[in-house]
Amino acid sequence: MTEHVAGILLAAGDGSRLGQPKATVELAGSTLAERGATLLRDGGAEPVIVVTGAIPVEIPGVVSVHNPDWLTGMGSSLATGLRALANGDAAAAVIALADQPLVGAAAVRRLIAAHASGATVAIAAYDGKPRNPVLIGRVHWPAVTEAAAGDAGARPFLRAHQDLVIDEIVAEQDGIAPGRVHRDAGTQQSALQSFGPGHAPDARRGRSRGWTAIGRNPDNPGRGLA
In CATH, what number is assigned to the domain containing residue 90? 3.90.550.10
The pLDDT of residue 207 is above 60: no
74 conformational bin, left if phi > 0, alpha if psi -120 to 50, beta if neither: alpha
80 located within any domain: yes
Assign 10 a pLDDT band (cuts: 50, 70, 90). very high
Does residue 156 have a cis bond before it (omega within 30 degrees)? Answer: no
Model pTM greater than 0.95? no
Compute CA 182 distance to the chain's CA centroid, rounded to the nearest angstrom: 18
Query: What is the SS3 assignment for 135?
Result: strand
Q: Which of 9-23, 27-41, 74-88, 111-125 has the lowest mean pLDDT?
A: 9-23
Other Cβ atoms within 10 Å of 214 Cβ, number: 23
Q: State the Cα–Cα distance between residues 152 and 156, nearest whole angstrom.
A: 7
224 located within any domain: no
221 located within any domain: no
117 located within any domain: yes
Domain extent at residue 176: 5-215
Task: Tell me how many domains the chain contains.
Answer: 1
76 located within any domain: yes
| Residues 68-102 as b or e (16 or more Cβ within 10 Å = b) | eebeebbbbbbbbbbebbeeeebbbbbbbbbbbbb
55 located within any domain: yes
124 conformational bin, left if phi > 0, alpha if psi -120 to 50, beta if neither: beta
DSSP classification of residue 22: G
Assign 150 a pLDDT band (cuts: 50, 70, 90). confident
94 located within any domain: yes
Q: Look at residue 165 in the predicted model and tell me its pLDDT.
A: 66
